[in-house]
Structure 1
Amino acid sequence: MGDKTNTHPGAAGRATTADRPASVRNVVLVGHSGSGKTTLVEALAQATGAVNRAGRVEDGATVSDYDEIEHRQQRSVQLSLVPLEWDGYKINLLDTPGYADFVGELRAGLRAADAALFVISAAQEADAVAASCRTVWEECAAVGMPRAIVITHLETARTDYEELTRVCAEIFGGDDPDAVLPLYLPLYGPQHADGHAPVTGLIGLLSQKVFDYSSGERKDTPPDAEQASVIEEARNRLIEGIISESEDETLMDRYLGGEDVEVTTLIDDLEKAVARGAFHPVLAAAPAADGARQGLGTVELLELITRGFPTPLETAPPAVTTPEGKTRPQVACDPGGPLVAEVVKTASDPYVGRISLVRVFSGTLRPDETVHISGHGLADRGHEDHDVEERVGALTSPFGKQQRTMAHAIAGDLACVAKLSRAETGDTLSAKDDPLLMEPWSMPDPLLPLAIQAHSKADEDKLSQGLARLVAEDPTMRLEQNQATHQVVLWCLGEAHADVALERLRSRYGVQVDVVPHKVSLRETFGGPAAGRGRHVKQSGGHGQYAICEIDVEPLPAGSGVEFVDKVVGGAVPRQFIPSVEKGVRAQAARGVAAGYPLVDVRVTLRDGKAHSVDSSDAAFQTAGALALREAATDSRIDLLEPVAEVRVLVSDDYVGSVMSDLSGRRGRVVGTEQAGGGRTLIRAEVPELEIGRYAIDLRSISHGTGQFSRGYARHEPMPAQLAEKLRAQAENGS
């Protein structure tokens, strides 16, 4: 795997065998922002000959040409596909954003890939590595996805490669640190004046060869005596790690018995262990120096991808059903099978329109054919169920800003499809005469609310369409039309995610919006029994208005709503006007009686009243009912009820104290803790929603990026009197 002689130095001119799933490799790059993922993709593109030594493709663009939002924000915010060809293989590299706010793009990349490269910067602290990668590593482990680790930024001063590999084994190895071991050791050049020695090559532990990149081309030589002594201990540990994962149960006994196991046997066992997700090699990589063609470790990494990572044939596709939910047999990665493909990303191009990045799991996708599109819905996020048919536009393969035409896309491959106007991220494409629906992947729950309103009348006219297109592209975003607060709320994953949403609304869809304070749905209730009299009597000539009603109000248990009871005797209020009183009471309850929030959990009893044979009417008794409720409120304590959330926080043990202290400062009540494994604790608490509007941001800061949380509505309960008084004063002042 990198220790065998490379017979293909560049493969720029060799035809790919992409018409066979066995020749395709789909690899997602995972890592913290700034870890070097995009730089690594560019280095691999240059090593394969896909770009020239200046990093340019034919039209002068670069592989890493970002969209305008990424240029302005100076960071990756979306999943990008870079297909390469090397040694007869097609390698689809899926470069994901490293910032936590864009984990939805990462999940899409995991869905489309068959293996993962975890990119770790030598400049990162161990805590940062754990925070950015541990959860994703565990997700990959849960589904058996093969993983390898690539260490970048070895040019950083005071880099300790041996310590970095130990940290990776500790973080990712779990109970088996020998499943995470380096395949190579760095080869250092002459020391600089500051004492730092640059890495100029790699020493293969299995082949015991030195791969020198100092000339800009990979050259291999035997190690000298000093290098041979350095690698002995690391080599023995690597061999033992490979043999312990071997399917040949006799190999360990033979090795411990002193038998010299052949390198070819070790490499074959290594490749099998990597492909089934049992062993995770650590490699190093760096971009090529100016004028050089091959960057450090690029050939070794390409060999790992093509020979160690699995083909799409070895990866079980997600389960499928009919759109109605009926079970269907598992599909296979067969170009001749039924068409099953999935939209893993949706983007908008100002010239082409909507572009869908599609992974084909079964069958062959061809341009100009009509396909069935099935959508899961996710109605709570603004996505409705849909089953429609659309004509597939052109199929292309992206490279920088280029879109290269594809004749078709076979099972196991990825392609961009133009002008699927109804398809959204997560939708399934299938044959129109055999509609299918794929099991959805896990979407992170957006927990940061962003309340917005149109900036002008012109923006208001375009807002709904712009928001619809925005959530169609990004299923991690949830659109809420809050009926209680009358606000339009975009739920996002963090501040950066919110910034990108606002920028896309402005630049792509021409909608300018203003951000306003987010409101929570407060309520009111009576703190004790009360009575009220509503008198609506007016005489202004002609037909007048006459209605008097007397009510009693008493509080009820939480969740009871508003009850209305009729106890009028003797016809004091004519029967036809009793529903009018109830209607007026309920209308006033919806408007509130103290601070303008809905009144709940009360029983209103109509006990007496008066009517006029001519001047009484439905409208008059509605008004009287409302007045009676308002008068009752003036002589009683009105409690403001605030929503309380059930919060579950998963955090590293190191930050449990800080998190619990912070929750207490938010008027929260910790109701329990439990060990969650992996040095983490699950904290369960109840916290007023007024206090956790920005908790998605604050928890990240408190826990140094290691914390996660979920929330759910628990109940409404009275808020402290001092805070309630403050909110009443704000309501009276109109602020």
Structure 2
Amino acid sequence: MNKRQLRNIGIIAHVDAGKTTVSERILYVTGAIHRTGEVHLGNTTMDYDPQERARGITINSAATTVVWCAHQINLIDTPGHIDFNIEVNRSLRVLDGAVVVFDGVAGVEPQTETNWRLADQYGVPRIALINKLDRTGADFARVVAMMAERLGAKPLVMQLPLGQEAEFEGVIDLVSMQALRWPRNGHGQPELTRGGIPEPMLLAAQAAHDALVDSAVEQDDTVLAAYLDGQDVSEAQLRACIRLGTLKQAFVPVFAGSALKNKGVEPLLDAVVDYLPAPEDRAQALGDGDGFAALVFKVVHDEHGALSYLRVYRGQAQAGSMVLNSSTGHKERLSRVVQMHANQREELAHAMAGDIVAVAGLKGSKTGHTLCDPEQPLVLEEIHAPEPVITMAVEPMSREDQASFSKGLHTLVDEDPSLRLSQDNESGQTLLSGVGELQLEVTLEKLRSRFGVTVHTGQPQVALRETVTREASVRYVHKKQSGGPGQFAEVALRIEPLPRGDGLRFANEVTGGAIPREFIPSVEDGVRRAARAGVLAGYPVVDVLVVLEDGSFHDRDSSTLAFELAGSAAFAQAQRDAESVMLEPVMAVQVTTPLDYVGDCIGDLNRRRALVRQQDQVGNAAVIHAMVPLQNLFGYIGSLRALTSGRASYSMQFDHYAEAPRALAAAA
């Protein structure tokens, strides 16, 4: 296959914006399936996990392959819930382009903003679909304005909706200047038809077309010069300019539709082919060589063993070949190569550059590891998982389940890098940490359904941190003499607070050889080891600058160990002198509620130590934006449903750490 005819794309959005419905319609329109599944009926192709079907949300990213206009499209449908954002993160790391789906009523929602920033971070070109335009309160122009205001994007309007809300019947294509409609054919299925633009819409369509042309031609100097000379821009030239601007991320083409009503899917697929990049458009700098190189971006386990998802960046690998895991230094055999269609597999003889495939047989390869030709080793940029903010003690209900409990938890943590396992040093309890209550709840349900283990759980605990509030200096001497060679190290440290989110930084200002250079890293190691458990309650210390100012050494008795111990003790002493405080995670919360319940919702948030930042009205609903300590959000969904007769919903995501009240710090 001509590699120019390959697209690797993801569908990303806030929860309930209609991502999975868009994916199902794409499968149907391309002929991959012959009957569309519905999220509310629990029979979708892409949400195949029993928990996904039961809960009506996407939990795992699912990959499939379709063909449109002679182009192979590798498609990944990602979750919209913040608790499963690692799936979006690792998908965007390996994709070339993305379709961002917006709810035509709600517009830009919190998780959309998070996903947008991730796409910015990985430099992924995007097109946008404003979905659900058939719903009451849908407003295409308002969502376009929100994209510019909240995302800092430059929307390029490609279509105008024909009709509003229940009267939505199709779109006006501003490139071809045609009206696209989807009346039902003789079999009751929608069928795309093209025709003239209705007279009442002609002026608005022409103005929007001119604005589209004005923005697009700026991407090609030759076309721009001809346009300024009064020459017409052909449709082919316009599409080429739009493609250039999309790849450079100068703008984001915006489309309209209602996936549930099968309206807008075909032009969206045309746009994927016309405007989103082929793999070589975003080729990574991999150095010299043409040998195989791929990134493992996901690992799943089933009754047949581990299945590792790969994005191939260079060369090709045959089924049965040996490759090097350059992240670990060990060799692995690719026993089988398969193309995934949700949970179905299609055997392949080999994987080529640009492919997204799954391989069986890898033993020690984890998410973020690089596989490559043993003769041409290289390491690709890893995938970084978010830090957990919530911890729960877990233990099996019966001792007989201990082995399955341990195996199951390690398997699930292997699959989801945003989960962490640890042990409480005092109680010996197993601690499971993650980014949200729902994620932990889903993980324990997987433990029960897949491994047959039911667990006892402790009360969830938030992941607190410690920091300092003022500068402090300390000079510490580590000295030990016991018959043989002694230990000696003297260090002078200064610590001072840093802005929130800056972590722990170490700086060396020693002059004149007061401490030999080979001992400086040991001091830093000691500092970082001590910072893993602060002096207040044993939580990690963050947002602190540690400066090594001075010290001394002994020719015979100084060693790396002595300076590491000195650095550790000096930091602990300095932290006590610098008025340490506890920090707690604060979440950005968005509550959507009928107007009748706004007062009750705000009152409840205030009782949870919330800072209400903003209140908007969208249609007949209110949207409340607030900052709320995670400690006060446990069980919030039940309380919110009770307050609003089940009519309100909320979403939240980690925003920042803030100083905790003294009572919380004292209880920690």
In structure 2, the residue matched to 1:576 is none
Query: How far apart, in 2, do the equivalents of 1:223 and 1:403 lie?
Result: 44
8 Å Cα contact 1:649/1:682 also seen in 2? no
Aligned-CA RMSD value: 4.4
Please tell me whether the aligned partners of residues 71 and 273 of structure 2 are also in contact (alpha carbons under 8 angstroms): yes
Give the Cα–Cα distance (whole angstroms) in 2 for the partners of residues 361 and 148 of structure 1.
Answer: 23
In 2, Cα distance between equivalents of 1:288 and 1:99: 20
Q: Aligned to 1:339, which of 292, 296, 299?
A: 292
Preserved CA contact (<8 Å) 2:171 2:257: no
| 2:143 counterpart residue number | 164
Post-superposition CA distance 1:444-480 (Å, at most 9, x none): 1111111111211112233322222111111111111
CA distance, structure 2, for counterparts of residue 239 and residue 340 of structure 1 = 40
Secondary structure of the residue aligned to 1:331 is coil
Match of residue 324 from structure 1: none
Matched position secondary structure for 2:310: strand
Please give the per-residue CA displacement for 1:611-670, whole angstroms capped at 9, x wherever unaligned: xxxxxxxxxxxxxxxxxxxxxxxxxxxxxxx9953357585999xxxxxx99998999x9
Distance change (3 Å), C-alpha of 1:364 and 1:77: same
Match of 1:489 among 431, 434, 450: 431
Equivalent residue number for residue 645 of structure 1 = 582
Alpha-carbon contact 1:29-1:117 (below 8 Å) kept: yes
Counterpart residue type for residue 280 of structure 2? L
Q: How does 1:589-600 map to 2 (within 5 A)?
A: none
Compute the displacement of 1:238 (Å): 1.7
1:502 and 2:444 aligned: yes
Matching of residue 140 in structure 1 with residue 119 in structure 2: yes
Q: CA deviation at 1:46?
A: 1.6
Residues 208 and 228 in structure 1, CA contact (< 8 A), matched pair in contact too: no
* Counterpart for residue 306 of structure 2: 354
Query: CA offsets per residue over residues 199-244 of structure 1, 9 Å max, x none?
Result: 2x2211122112232143323223243332231222222222223x
Structure 2 CA distance for aligned equivalents of residues 144 and 437 of structure 1 = 19
Q: 2:282 aligns with which of 282, 305, 315?
A: 315
Distance 1:559 1:68 in 2: 58
User: What is the identity, as a one-letter code, of the residue corresponding to 1:340?
Assistant: A
Q: Secondary structure at the match of 2:340?
A: strand
Asked whether 1:79 is paired with 2:54, we answer: no
Which residue number in structure 1 is paired with residue 323 of structure 2? 371
- Identify which of 40, 48, 64 aligns with 2:46: 64
Superposition pairs for residues 440-589 of structure 1, below 5 Å?
440-517=382-459
Asked whether the equivalents of residues 364 and 408 of structure 1 are also in contact (C-alpha less than 8 Å), the reply is: yes
1:196 counterpart SS class: helix
Q: Deviations over 1:516-556 (max 9, x none)?
A: 1357999xxxxxxxxxxxxxxxxxxxxxxxxxxxxxxxxxx
| Alpha carbons 1:340, 1:430 under 8 Å: kept | yes
The TM-score, its normalising length taken from structure 2, stands at 0.69
Q: 2:168 aligns with which of 191, 198, 201?
A: 198
> Is the 1:343–1:428 contact (alpha carbons within 8 Å) kept by the matching residues of 2?
yes
Once the two structures are TM-superposed, the CA of residue 560 in structure 1 deviates from its matched residue by 13
State how far apart, in whole Å, the 1-side matches of 2:48 and 2:345 are: 14
Q: Contact 2:300–2:308 at 8 Å: present in 1 too? A: yes
Which deviations, in whole Å up to 9, do the C-alpha atoms of 1:84-141 show, x marking residues without a partner?
112221101110011110000110110121111111122x424xx2312112212322
Counterpart position of 2:561? none
- Check 1:507–1:203 CA distance in 2 against 1; reply closer, same or farther (3 A cut): same
- The 1:185/1:514 distance shift into structure 2, 3 A limit, reads same
Q: How does 1:34-113 map to 2 (within 5 A)?
A: 34-53=16-35, 63-64=45-46, 66-113=48-95
In the superposition, relative to structure 1, how do residues 644 and 473 fare at CA in structure 2: closer, same or farther (>3 Å)?
Answer: farther
Decide whether the 8 Å contact of 2:62 with 2:78 is kept in 1.
Answer: yes
Deviates more, 1:215-224 or 1:490-499: 215-224
Secondary structure in structure 1 of the residue aligned to 2:221: coil
* Structure with max Cα Rg: 1
Aligned-residue offset at 1:704: 5.9
Quick one: which amino acid aligns to residue 161 of structure 1? F
1:277 pairs with 2:249: yes
Cα distance 1:520–1:25, how it changes in 2: closer, same or farther (>3 A)?
Answer: closer
Indicate if the aligned counterparts of 2:223 and 2:237 stay in contact, CA closer than 8 A.
no
Residues 521 and 87 of structure 1, relative CA distance in 2, 3 Å threshold:
closer
Residues 1:130 and 1:409: Cα distance change in structure 2 (over 3 Å)? same
Structure 2 residue identity aligned to 1:218: L
Gaps of 5+ in 1: 1-16, 290-294, 318-329, 376-385, 523-556, 566-596, 599-641, 655-660, 671-680, 686-690, 728-735
- Partner residue of 2:349? 407
- Which residue pairs with 1:246 in the alignment? 219
Name the CA shift for 1:70/1:166 in 2 (closer, same or farther; >3 Å).
same
Task: Give TM-score, length-normalised by structure 1.
Answer: 0.63
- Confirm whether residue 125 of structure 1 aligns to residue 98 of structure 2: no
Contact 1:65 1:401 in 2 (8 A): no
Query: Do the aligned partners of 1:359 and 1:415 also contact (CA within 8 Å) in 2?
Result: yes
2:373 maps to which residue? 431
Structure 1 residues 519 and 112, CA gap change in structure 2 (3 angstroms): closer
Q: 1:223-302, aligned counterparts within 5 Å?
A: 223-243=197-217, 245-248=218-221, 251=224, 255=227, 258-287=230-259, 295-302=262-269
The answer as to whether partners of 1:448 and 1:695 remain within 8 angstroms in 2 is no
Q: What is the deviation of 1:258?
A: 4.9
Separation in structure 2 between the aligned mates of residue 85 and residue 521 of structure 1, nearest angstrom: 46
- Distance in 1, Cα, partners of 2:212 & 2:635: 41
CA distance in 1, matches of 2:427, 2:463: 6
1:491 Cα offset (Å): 0.8
